[in-house]
Amino acid sequence: MQNTNPDGTVLVLGATGKTGRRVVRTLRAAGVTVRAASRSGEVRFDWTEPATWDGALAGASAVYLIAPDEGYDAVPRFVDRAVAAGVRRFVALSGRGIEHVGEDFGRGMIAAEEAVRASGAEWAVVRPNNFFQNFDEDLWRQSLRDGRLALPIGDVPEPFIDAGDVAEVAATLLTRPAAEHADGVYEISGARALTFHEAVAVMARAAGREIEFVELTPEEYHAGLLAAGFPEPAAKALGALFTLHRTGRTATPVPGVQDLLGREPSDFAAYAERAAATGAWERDAVRP
C-alpha cells in the first residue's frame, strides 16, 4: 500500500485486536503516522472513560472505528468530539448482513454506522464476513484445540475472510485521497464460501489431527454457551448471529476485496497452514 495521506495522523481504535493490529501494521509499513489506541494499547483509549478520548484524538485526521458491544451510546458522542477535534474521515468496522439481524446482536456496529453517516465528515463502513482468525485467535480457538467445534449452522456456507484483507481494505479507505474517496458501505468477503464442516476439515488436515464438526440445534448451542459461562446477552447475541447465517443472506462471496485492492482475497487453506504451523490447533498438554 502507498501512503497517499502524508499529512495526517490516523487514530486506530481496537488497535490490539484482530483487525486493528493489522491496520496499524499496514499503515505503518506505508509510512503513515498512526496512533494505536485501546485500553491496553500504545495510547490509552477507553470507551467507558471519555477523559481518554481527547488525547487519542489530538492531531488525528482519520479514525478507524471499532465500536464497543456494550455502552455503544458513547459512539455518537465520540464521533462528535472527533469532528470537533479535526477528524475528516471515519472508517467504521461493521459486519455483513447487519441490516438483517435482530436486536440481540450488533448494536455497537449499528451505532457506529449511524454515527459516521451523520458525522458530516467523509465516511466508509466496512462490512466483512466472518474472519479466518476467529479460528486461531478468538472465539473458536479452544474448541478446535479440544478437537470438537459444535455450532448451529447447518450446511449454509460462509465466505470467510482474512482479517489481513479487512485491514488492508480499511487502510486503503482511511488514506486514499479525498478525490478518490466515495462515502458508502463496502461489503467484503473471501473468494470462496466453505461450510463450517469443510473449514474444520481443512484446519484438521493442516494441523495433522482429527477435529470434528458437530451440528447443534440453536437450543443446544444456547444451553452450551450458558454452561460454558457465557452471560445470557452474549449467548443470545451469538445465537442471533447464527440465525442470520442460517438464512443464507451472507453466504455468497462478494467482490469487494478485488474491487478495492485489485487482487484476490487471501486463501483459507493457506491461512490454515500458517496458523497450524504456529501450533494454534494442537491439543493442550494434559497436566499430571
- Options 93, 101, 111, 251; binder of ligand NAP; rule CB under 6 A: 93
Helix, strand, or coil here: 4?
coil
The single-letter code of the amino acid at 252 is: T
As a whole number of angstroms, the distance between CA 264 and CA 257 comes to 7
Length of the chain: 288
> Comparing C-alpha atoms, which of 14, 6, 5, 4 is closest to residue 35?
14
Specify burial of residue 281 (Cβ count, 10 A radius: 0-12, 13-18, 19+).
buried
- Does residue number 91 form part of the binding site for ligand NAP (CB under 6 A)? no
> Comparing C-alpha atoms, which of 222, 224, 227 is closest to residue 241?
222
- Does residue number 40 form part of the binding site for ligand NAP (CB under 6 A)? yes
- Does residue number 172 form part of the binding site for ligand NAP (CB under 6 A)? no
* CB of residue 131 to ligand NAP, shortest distance in Å: 4
- Options 32, 36, 41, 89; binder of ligand NAP; rule CB under 6 A: 41
Helix, strand, or coil here: 193?
coil
* CB of residue 138 to ligand NAP, shortest distance in Å: 6
Residue nearest to ligand NAP (CB): 17
As a whole number of angstroms, the distance between CA 37 and CA 170 comes to 16
Nearest CB to ligand NAP, comparing residues 138 and 220: 138
* CB of residue 6 to ligand NAP, shortest distance in Å: 26
Residues sharing a CB contact under 8 Å with residue 58, sequence separation 6 or more, in sequence order: 85
Specify burial of residue 29 (Cβ count, 10 A radius: 0-12, 13-18, 19+).
exposed
Residue with cell 502507498: 2
- Options 24, 78, 95, 235; binder of ligand NAP; rule CB under 6 A: 95
> Comparing C-alpha atoms, which of 248, 273, 253, 274 is closest to residue 265?
253
- Does residue number 17 form part of the binding site for ligand NAP (CB under 6 A)? yes
- Options 5, 10, 18, 235; binder of ligand NAP; rule CB under 6 A: 18
Helix, strand, or coil here: 150?
strand
Restricting to residues 197-256, name those near ligand NAP by CB under 6 A. none
- Options 12, 62, 107, 108; binder of ligand NAP; rule CB under 6 A: 108
Contact window for ligand NAP (CB under 6 A) among 41-49, 117-125, 188-196, 280-288: 41-49
Nearest CB to ligand NAP, comparing residues 2 and 48: 48
Nearest CB to ligand NAP, comparing residues 188 and 211: 188
Contacts with ligand NAP by CB under 6 A lie at 14-20, 38-41, 45-48, 66-68, 93, 95, 108-109, 128, 130-131, 134
